[in-house]
Amino acid sequence: MSKKIFLDTNVVADIIDAKRAGHQRAMELVERAIYDDFALCVSEDMLTTLFYISKEKAKTLEFFKNVVFVDWEILNFSKEILFEGVELAQGGNLDLEDVLQCLCAKQSGCTAIITNDGKFFNCGLESFSVEQFLKTTP
């Protein structure tokens, strides 16, 4: 797989939770990404965040075991990324989670970030909402 895309926390939450408004379109994104041979990537810290916000903890853990651990790439933060992220967040009053995820995705060779957060930090990678991604891929 040569194309790597990073999924933001809000997109993965939509994938996991069928009750969320964005669930169906997020599932279509996963299908399209697999069909078009994209590698789906998340950061390791995202897993604890998703578990924390989940109303169905057992289902979330099963999703990690059966989907994320099997088919997706889990990206790690380095000390350098953490330091740079903190510096950027302090200097620009930015969302540390978004900054770290973007820097991690960039360092790991992702070509785009899929997020439904209109104010997601721009670290030089293309950013698409789920809807934009579905419209731009054949």
Residue 106: is its pLDDT beyond 90?
A: yes
Please tell me the predicted confidence (pLDDT) of residue 122.
Answer: 86
Tokens 């579905």 found at: 134
pLDDT of residue 45: 93
Q: What's the rounded Cα separation, in Å, for the pair 94 and 92?
A: 5
Q: How distant, in Å, are the alpha carbons of 4, 61, 65, 119 from that of 113?
A: 9, 24, 23, 12
Residue with tokens 């379109």: 25
pTM for the structure as a whole: 0.93
Q: What is the pLDDT of residues 71-102, one digit of tens each?
A: 999 999 999 999 999 999 998 888 899 999 99
Residues contacting 26, CB < 8 A, separation 6+: 11, 14, 15, 130
pLDDT of residue 99: 92
Full set of structural domains in the chain with CATH: 3-136 (3.40.50.1010)
